[in-house]
């Protein structure tokens, strides 16, 4: 895929691990005319106790599986090669593990760092197949599609629709996320804000690609207004959107913010800010 906008590294996306436990319910017991009521009642009680014992029994733990997952989980998230080696080995050896979704999510990020887009999307799809509500995977996949889109690709339209779906669902999921026990209220609030900012960024780029300037501007304003370190690409595209809407003063402000951030877009943003100022006169 051809990347049309040079952007800095994607902001770190926190992975939420939410453990959901559900007790198995005992099947409904019918009444047999061949059993006396006392015997039937005793049989039902025994079956219910047996079901309860089974549902409360701890899952069998494989020490080797636990150790392999711990090695993957504890490895440096920025060491993509090690993460990929450990993750691929894990899912190959334990294809039915309860940890597979978490490993696929980690592999998605690792392949992003390697810019291996084929494996990035393959592992993201696998993670979402196991957990369609993984906010971090939804956000990063929905973010990358419009950033790296080739508009001449015959699948461009359907890819943008997929990115829009991912980001909209991510926003819904983020709003309902429970706070993990190992996070402070402040950490949780910051993480949710970061995820929401990235989701609005992805949506803004989707709408920009479709030349929907008003929708794009609304999303990118949400992505940048509260961020201490806004993405210069978001600010640059926001400036273009506002120019298209003849809101030249606001466009100049967006370009000025972009021009203050060192990087490939800095000079271009400064030039665009001067042009927008002239248009505003």
Residue 148 sits in the same domain as residue 260: no
Distance, in Å, from the CA atom of 24 to the CA atom of 44, rounded to the nearest integer, reads: 16
146-189 confidence digits (pLDDT tens): 999 999 999 999 999 999 999 999 999 999 999 988 889 999 99
Q: Is residue 44 part of a domain?
A: no
Residue 262 sits in the same domain as residue 129: no
3-state DSSP assignment of residue 126? helix
Residue 280 sits in the same domain as residue 176: no
Given this model, what pLDDT does residue 182 score?
87
Residue where the block lists tokens 């991510």:
170
Burial label, 86 (beta-carbon count in 10 A; 0-12, 13-18, 19+): buried
Q: Is residue 57 part of a domain?
A: no
Q: Is residue 150 part of a domain?
A: yes
219-247 confidence digits (pLDDT tens): 999 999 977 789 999 999 999 999 999 99
Are the beta carbons of 17 and 102 closer than 8 angstroms? yes
Q: For the chain, what percent of residues have pLDDT higher than 90?
A: 74
90-121 confidence digits (pLDDT tens): 999 999 999 999 999 999 999 999 999 999 99
DSSP characters over 211-275:
T-HHHHHHHHHHHHTT-SS--HHHHHHHHHHHHHTT-HHHHHHHHHHHHTS-STTHHHHHHHHHH
Q: What is the mean pLDDT of the chain?
A: 84
CB atoms near residue 32 (< 10 Å)? 10
Q: Is residue 269 part of a domain?
A: yes
262 compared with 42, residue with greater pLDDT: 262
58 compared with 39, residue with greater pLDDT: 58
**How many domains does the chain fold into?**
2
Given this model, what pLDDT does residue 61 score?
79
Residue 212 sits in the same domain as residue 233: no
Check which CATH number belongs to the domain holding 201 and give it.
1.25.40.10
Containing domain of residue 276, as a range?
Answer: 229-281
Residue 99 sits in the same domain as residue 190: yes
Burial label, 120 (beta-carbon count in 10 A; 0-12, 13-18, 19+): buried
């Amino acid at each position: 895929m051809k990347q049309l906008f040079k952007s800095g590294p994607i902001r770190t996306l926190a992975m939420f691990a939410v453990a959901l436990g559900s007790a198995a319910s005992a099947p409904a017991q019918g009444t047999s005319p061949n059993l006396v009521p006392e015997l039937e009642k005793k049989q039902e009680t025994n079956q219910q106790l047996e079901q309860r014992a089974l549902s409360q029994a701890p899952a069998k733990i494989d020490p080797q599986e636990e150790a392999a997952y711990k090695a993957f989980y504890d490895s440096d998230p920025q060491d993509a090669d090690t993460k990929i080696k450990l993750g691929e080995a894990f899912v190959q050896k334990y294809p039915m593990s309860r940890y597979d979704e978490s490993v696929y999510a980690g592999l998605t990020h690792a392949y992003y760092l390697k810019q291996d887009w084929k494996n990035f999307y393959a592992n993201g799809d696998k993670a979402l197949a196991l957990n369609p509500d993984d906010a971090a995977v939804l956000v990063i996949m929905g973010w990358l599609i419009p950033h790296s889109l080739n508009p001449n690709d015959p699948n461009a339209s359907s890819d943008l629709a997929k990115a829009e779906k991912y980001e909209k669902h991510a926003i819904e999921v983020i709003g309902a996320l429970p706070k993990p026990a190992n996070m402070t209220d402040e950490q949780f609030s910051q993480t949710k804000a970061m995820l929401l900012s990235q989701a609005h960024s992805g949506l803004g780029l989707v709408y920009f690609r479709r030349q929907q300037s008003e929708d794009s501007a609304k999303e990118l304003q949400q992505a940048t207004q509260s961020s201490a370190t806004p993405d210069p690409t978001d600010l640059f595209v926001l400036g273009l959107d506002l120019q298209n809407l003849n809101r030249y003063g606001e466009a100049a402000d967006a370009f000025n913010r972009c021009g203050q951030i060192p990087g490939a877009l800095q000079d271009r943003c400064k030039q665009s800010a001067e042009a927008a100022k002239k248009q505003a006169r």
